[in-house]
Structure 1
Amino acid sequence: MGHGDGSGRLVSPVGADDSGTRILHVDMDAFYAAVEILDDPTLRGLPLIIGAPDGRSVVSSASYEARRYGVHAAMPVAQAIRLCPSARIVMPHFHRYQEVSRQVMAIFESITPLVEPLSVDEAFLDVQGVRRLWGSPAQIARVIRERVRDEVGITCSVGVAATKHVAKMASTIAKPDGMLVVPASATLEFLAPRPVRAMWGVGPKAAESLEARGIRTIRDIRESSQDMLDRAVGPALGARIAQLARGHDARAVDTERVEKSVGHEETFDVDITDRVFLRSELLRLADRVAARLRRADWEAGTVAIKVRFDDFRTVNRSQTLAEPTAVGQRLGEAAQTLFEQIASRDPVRLVGVRAEKLRPAGGGGIGLWDDDEDWRRVEGAVDSAVARFGTSTITRARHLGRDEGRGTARHPKARGLD
Structure 2
Amino acid sequence: MILHADLDSFYASVEQRDDPSLRGRPVLVGGGVVLAASYEAKAFGVRTPMSLSKARALCPQAIVVPPRMSAYTKASRLVFEIFEDTTPIVEPLSIDEAFLDVDGLRKIRGTPVEIAHRLRADVRERAGLPITVGVAGTKFLAKVASGAGKPDGLLVVPPGEELAFLHPLPVEKLWGVGPVTAAKLRDRQIHTVGHVARIGEAALVSILGGNAGRHLHALAHNRDPRRVSTGHRRGSIGAQCALGRGAHSTEQVEATLDALVDRVTRRMRRAHRAGRTVTLRLRFGDFTRATRSRSLLKATMQTEAISRTAGDLLREARPLIAERGLTLVGVAVSNLDGDGNVQMELPFEEAPDVDRLDAAMDQVRERFGNDALRRAAMIGRTMSPSVPLLSD
The bucket for the TM-score relative to the shorter chain is 0.7 to 0.9
SS of 2:281 mapped into structure 1 = strand
SS of 2:247 mapped into structure 1 = strand
One-letter identity of the residue aligned with 2:295: L
The runs of 5 or more residues in structure 1 that have no matched partner are: 1-21
Q: Indicate if the aligned counterparts of 1:24 and 1:125 stay in contact, CA closer than 8 A.
A: yes
One-letter identity of the residue aligned with 1:37: Q
Task: Describe how 1:206-221 pairs up with structure 2 within 5 A.
Answer: 206-221=181-196
Q: Aligned match of 2:332 in 324, 341, 354?
A: 354
One-letter identity of the residue aligned with 1:406: M
Q: Indicate if the aligned counterparts of 1:282 and 1:336 stay in contact, CA closer than 8 A.
A: no
Q: Indicate if the aligned counterparts of 2:33 and 2:244 stay in contact, CA closer than 8 A.
A: no
RMSD across aligned positions (CA) = 3.1
Q: Indicate if the aligned counterparts of 2:253 and 2:383 stay in contact, CA closer than 8 A.
A: no
One-letter identity of the residue aligned with 1:321: S
Question: For the residues of structure 2 that align with 1:370 and 1:255, how far apart are their CA atoms?
Answer: 35
* Matched residue count: 380
Alignment partner of 1:319 is 2:288:
no
Question: For the residues of structure 2 that align with 1:277 and 1:105, how far apart are their CA atoms?
Answer: 35
Deviation sequence 1:214-252 (CA, Å, 0-9, x none) = 322111211234344235444222221111111111111
Alignment partner of 1:81 is 2:59:
no
1:293, CA displacement in angstroms?
A: 1.5
Q: Percent identity of the aligned residues? A: 36
Q: Aligned match of 1:289 in 249, 264, 273?
A: 264
Deviation sequence 1:31-59 (CA, Å, 0-9, x none) = 2111111111111111111112xxxx111
Report the counterpart of residue 62 of structure 1 in structure 2.
37
Q: Indicate if the aligned counterparts of 1:263 and 1:355 stay in contact, CA closer than 8 A.
A: no
Alignment partner of 1:146 is 2:125:
no
One-letter identity of the residue aligned with 1:91: P
1:161, CA displacement in angstroms?
A: 0.5
Question: For the residues of structure 1 that align with 2:306 and 2:37, how far apart are their CA atoms?
Answer: 37
Instruction: Give the TM-score taking structure 2 as reference length.
Output: 0.85
Question: Which segment drifts farther, 233-242 or 187-196?
Answer: 233-242
Q: Aligned match of 1:333 in 290, 309, 316?
A: 309
SS of 1:352 mapped into structure 2 = strand
CA 385–233 in structure 1, closer or farther in 2 if over 3 Å, else same: same
Question: For the residues of structure 1 that align with 2:286 and 2:27, how far apart are their CA atoms?
Answer: 23
Question: For the residues of structure 1 that align with 2:28 and 2:203, how far apart are their CA atoms?
Answer: 41
Task: Describe how 1:249-264 pairs up with structure 2 within 5 A.
Answer: 249-259=224-234, 260-264=236-240
SS of 2:161 mapped into structure 1 = helix
Q: Indicate if the aligned counterparts of 1:269 and 1:407 stay in contact, CA closer than 8 A.
A: no
Question: For the residues of structure 1 that align with 2:346 and 2:217, how far apart are their CA atoms?
Answer: 46
Q: Indicate if the aligned counterparts of 1:263 and 1:413 stay in contact, CA closer than 8 A.
A: yes
Deviation sequence 1:4-61 (CA, Å, 0-9, x none) = xxxxxxxxxxxxxxxxxx1011111112111111111111111111112xxxx11111
Q: Indicate if the aligned counterparts of 1:261 and 1:355 stay in contact, CA closer than 8 A.
A: yes
SS of 2:230 mapped into structure 1 = coil
CA 262–344 in structure 1, closer or farther in 2 if over 3 Å, else same: closer
Report the counterpart of residue 73 of structure 2 in structure 1.
98
1:270, CA displacement in angstroms?
A: 7.2
Question: For the residues of structure 2 that align with 1:190 and 1:239, how far apart are their CA atoms?
Answer: 21
Structure with higher helix content = 2
1:331, CA displacement in angstroms?
A: 5.9
